[in-house]
Amino acid sequence: MAELPKAYDPALTEDRIYKMWEDSGAFKPTGKGEPFTISMPPPNATGQLHLGHAVMLALEDIFIRFARMQDKDALWVPGTDHAAIATESVVIKRIQKEEKMPDPRAKLGREELLRRIADFVEKSRGTIRSQVRKMGSSCDWSRERYTMDESLNRCVNEVFCSMYNDGLIYRGERVVNWDTALQTTISDDEIVHEDREGTLYTIEYLSAKQTGGAAVHVATSRPETKIGDSALVVHPDDKRYHSLIGKSFTVQWPRGIETKITVIADHSIDPAFGTGVLGLTPFHSKTDEELWKRHKGEITSAPIHLIGENGRMRKEAGGYAGMTVEEARAALVEDLRSEGRLVKEEKYTQPISLSYRSGKPVEPLPKLQWFIDVNKPVVQWKGKSMSLKQVMQDVVQSGDISIVPDRFEKTYFHWIDNLQDWCISRQIWWGHRVPVWYKGEEISVGTTAPGGKGFEQDSDTLDTWFSSALWTWSTLVDPKLTQDFSLSLSDILKNSPDFQRYHPTAVMETGYDILFFWVARMILMTTYATGQVPFRKVYLHGLVRTRDGKKMSKSHPETMIDPLDMISKYGADALRLSMIVGQGPGADSRLYEEKIAGYRNFINKLWNASRFVLMQCEQAGVDPQSIEKLPDVSTLSLADRAILSREQAVMQHVTDGLINYRLSEVGEALYSYVWDDYCDWYLELSKGNANTAVLVHTLRKILILLHPYCPFVTEELWSSIKPKKAGMLIAEQWPGLKPERKDAKAEAEFLVLISVIQSIRKLRTDQNIEPGKQVPITLCTDAHAELLTSQAEHIKRMGKLSELTISGTKQKPADAASAFLDGIEVYLPLEGLVDTGKEKTSLTKEQANLEKFISGIEGKLQNKEFIKKAPPALIEEQKAKLCEAQDKLKKISERLKAL
């Protein structure tokens, strides 16, 4: 048997073990048993693994290993995401910086830029792959996918066409969110709202002369858009403006600009805000556009497209054309001021919309784009025609999909309620190109280019979430089939064995921050495209924060914890535990190095416990691998019987916990079982009279139960201690319960033994006995004499006793320090050396505790209502406790009196 080193060294172990797993094919599904699939949320193909990925990988690896050990047909599909906007902008920035090329898109052209991005991605994907391996992720690499794979592209195109044919995808001129920095549209979800200090300007919009009554003032935070107004909107009940409703005016603006507006009424207007009049700018505000659509018929003038995609005023802005929005605002305000039309300027907290991607303000402007209609009731679902929204609601409401923690179901429904048509086209090049071709007025939508000359493909690409939304199933279709264009999507699905067997997936695990971006979109697209839900359960983890609860951010590198650093320092197992234990689903958590180091210590504890077991075997001349069966339980020692009984409880707890996704609790339970029960008591008590069969058996169980959490160290130890015939731990079967091993009496007696030893140790400390010195002890007991006698050797060794006397309660040694347990009196005879002060302090404290406890219980028991209504078992329990406590109190009081 090879000697294990004194401390566990993950660096010498992890890569070797991972390779062994991978080479053995253990990550591949067996094809037998109940299928259990996880789709790995694909990390961006650009970057580095961060803690968010690490948490995801750890959780999913636990799920999948547990399933695999339960003999399920476990498949975990890995992959990477092309991350359209993020990747393109990263590569463009690099080229700009490294090659001093200000506009790579213009200079390189579409084809060359795409080639460069693809190159870059290929390199990064290699990095990501190796980092995913470092975490110990047991995913099936032979099924690895990439969102830009040809087969996935086929799926994307198929879904696009099918939705187009169903009228769910349409092209329309609408106000969209324009990111002027990235020069593309973005979806509503990619907008972040922020409050900024702004100014609310009140301007004289119509003069008294024009209205024939009072002048009309309008408050606005964006004066520059007012020259693009089509209407003024007031509340229908607002008496101030009653006479104006329905009238049209020509508004004179500085620099010779003239607009025509109509005054209309709408209930959405708040008469108390500003002047109660809203200047309606249909082309540069989504809300205004909505309002405008409702009142189109009443408004005579057409909307004005004022702001261009470059963020500058267009020629429609007359004298302000060419200025940036900010410049135009300043200029117009000055002009109005000099005309005396600037009535008021006030400080104002303005909610503004920023691009999630670029961090720059989003400019709403009209643009011809592709959208997904979420309200059209044409999706066949459960025999009904529903809208995409309705299907999304149904699957969660009906329980086809459940979300952990369930409060996020509310959030999800709320999001759907507010969901509007999804703008899916992007003006970037990196991504799945919109499968539409144009020739003059002619449009061709298809998975392949149309025949005939003169067709040109739409230059836009699809939102990256469009392809990610297909992830759970597009990764399972047979790539060969996708090359055959005579097949329909449903043919492909029907004939793809993996899709047939492994979809829907069992659980989707991801951060709550992409519930809307991704999880909801997967539900939307997958139900439509496949008629199945993408997954049965959604498990959401929270954000990993710094020790102070701050967000880790790239701009503050000192706040970042790099998972790979931590792995090389403490090992992947320790990192995994530190991210799982102590954090519930959906809640943010804090991570810091000491925490990881703590779990490294735990791993090392396990390592040394195993060394101890191996050493015991060696000393007994037993080959641990040859141990197969447990001896007859009745022949075993108290400690053996107790640990075997505890083991059953732990096994049950762990299994139930994993089934119910209570990972933190399970981790804690295992931690304390291994460290407290197993190492501190069971192994200690085994010294000198070890039963190697039980030692080996219980250690094996520990390795099995811990394997999903810390796969590396457990696998490594398994090789020394597994039964000869057994294979790798990763493929080991999850143990079933053996209720006959439960032994409440043994566990109770074990606790008595522990409490005796602990109380002796405390007496020693209280009496300042040198740690090495052996002392005599007398235990006086009527109830536990037999037990204590049988355990005398243990008590002597662990209490470092020179002599142990066990007697009845009638004879008590004089001149001894004392302590009192339930039914046992512990005496440390010291021949005149007893530190009575210390003993008094200790006993007085105990006395006070007991008195408090007793009066509490007595209060309860004297309460008639309690006696009447509490469950009888509880009452009995309380009575028993009271007796014990009173007995103990009596002894302590007597002793105190004697002192």
286 interacts with RNA by CB under 7 A: yes
Considering only the stretches 111-119, 495-503, 556-564, 609-617, report the one whose residues sit in contact with RNA under the rule CB under 7 A: 609-617
Stretch that binds RNA, among 161-169, 328-336, 481-489, 581-589 (CB under 7 A): 581-589
Q: What percent of the residues of the chain are helix, what percent strand, and what percent coil, each to the nearest 5?
A: 50, 20, 30
Does position 274 interact with RNA (CB under 7 A)? The reply is yes
**By the rule CB under 7 A, 247 interacts with RNA:** no
| Contact residue for RNA among 11, 192, 368, 883 (CB under 7 A) | 192
Position 609 contacts RNA (CB under 7 A): yes
- Smallest distance from RNA to CB 93, Å: 25
Residue 808 has phi, psi (to 5 degrees) of: -70, 175
Nearer to RNA, 644 or 683 (CB): 683
CB of 91 to RNA, least distance (A): 27
Burial 549-569 (b: 16+ CB within 10 A, else e): eeebeeeeeeeebbbbebbeb
The DSSP output letter for 673 is: I
Question: Which residues touch 521 (CB under 8 Å, ≥6 apart)?
Answer: 422, 465, 466, 468, 469
Q: Residue 12 or 833: which CB sits closer to RNA?
A: 12
Among 542, 607, 535, residue whose Cα is nearest residue 580: 542
402 lines the binding site for RNA (CB under 7 A): no
Residue number, 129 or 838, with CB nearest to RNA: 838
> How far lies 378's CA from each of 19, 168, 397, 422, 552, in Å?
50, 8, 20, 16, 44
Instruction: Please return the burial class of 88, using the count of CB atoms within 10 Å of its CB with bins 0-12, 13-18 and 19+.
Output: buried
Site for RNA in 660-699 (CB under 7 A): 664-665, 668, 671-672, 675, 679-680, 683-684, 687
Question: Taking CB under 7 A as the criterion, which residues in 763-782 touch RNA?
Answer: 765-766, 771-772
Residues 479 and 496 sit within 8 Å (Cβ to Cβ): no
**227-246 residues near RNA, rule: CB under 7 A:** none
Site for RNA (CB under 7 A): which residue of 350, 444, 625, 893?
Answer: 350
Interaction between residue 485 and RNA (CB under 7 A): no
Give 309-333 as a DSSP string. TTSBB-GGGGGGTT-BHHHHHHHHH
CB of 387 to RNA, least distance (A): 18
Per rule CB under 7 A, is residue 188 in the interface with RNA? Answer: yes
Closer residue to RNA in complex, CB, 575/609: 609
- Euclidean distance between CA atoms 442 and 452, whole angstroms: 12
Nearer residue to RNA within complex by CB, 40 or 218: 218
Binds RNA by CB under 7 A, chosen from 48, 457, 608, 719: 608
User: 856 to 875, contacts with RNA by CB under 7 A?
Assistant: 856, 860, 863, 865-866, 869-871, 874
Q: How many residues belong to the site for RNA (CB under 7 A)?
A: 95
Task: With residue 274 as reference, give the H or E element that holds it.
Answer: none
Contact pattern from residue 410 through residue 449 relative to RNA, giving x for each residue in contact according to CB under 7 A and a dash for the rest:
xx--xx--x-------------------------------
Please report whether residue 393 would count as binding RNA according to CB under 7 A: no
Dist CA 736 CA 523 (whole Å): 36
| CA–CA dist 123, 46 (Å, integer) | 9
Minimum CB separation of residue 161 from RNA in Å reads 29
CA 189 to CA 517: how far, in whole Å? 7
Rounded to a whole number of angstroms, the distance between the first and last alpha carbons of the chain is: 58
**Distance (Å, whole) CA 738 – CA 841:** 47
Nearest CB to RNA, comparing residues 148 and 674:
674
- Contact call for residue 271 and RNA (CB under 7 A): yes
Task: State which of residues 33, 319, 479, 584 lies at the interface with RNA (CB under 7 A).
Answer: 584
Quick check: 853 binds RNA (CB under 7 A)?
A: yes
Centre a 10 Å sphere on the Cβ of residue 304 and count the other Cβ atoms it contains.
Answer: 22
548 touches RNA (CB under 7 A): yes
270 vs 815 by CB, closer to RNA: 270
Is 108 or 882 the residue whose CB approaches RNA more closely?
882
- What HEC string does 581-605 produce? CCCCCCCCEECCHHHHHHHHHHHHH
Rounded Cα gap, residues 522 and 493, in angstroms: 17
CA gap 799, 842 in Å, rounded = 19
101 near RNA, judged by CB under 7 A? no
Shortest Å, Cβ 785 to RNA: 22
Q: Say how far apart CA 353 and CA 360 lie, in whole Å.
A: 8
Selected from 130, 165, 250, 268, the binder of RNA by CB under 7 A is 268
819 binds RNA (CB under 7 A): no
Query: Directed axis angle between helix 711-721 and helix 593-620, to 10°?
Result: 0
Q: Does 535 bind RNA (CB under 7 A)?
A: no
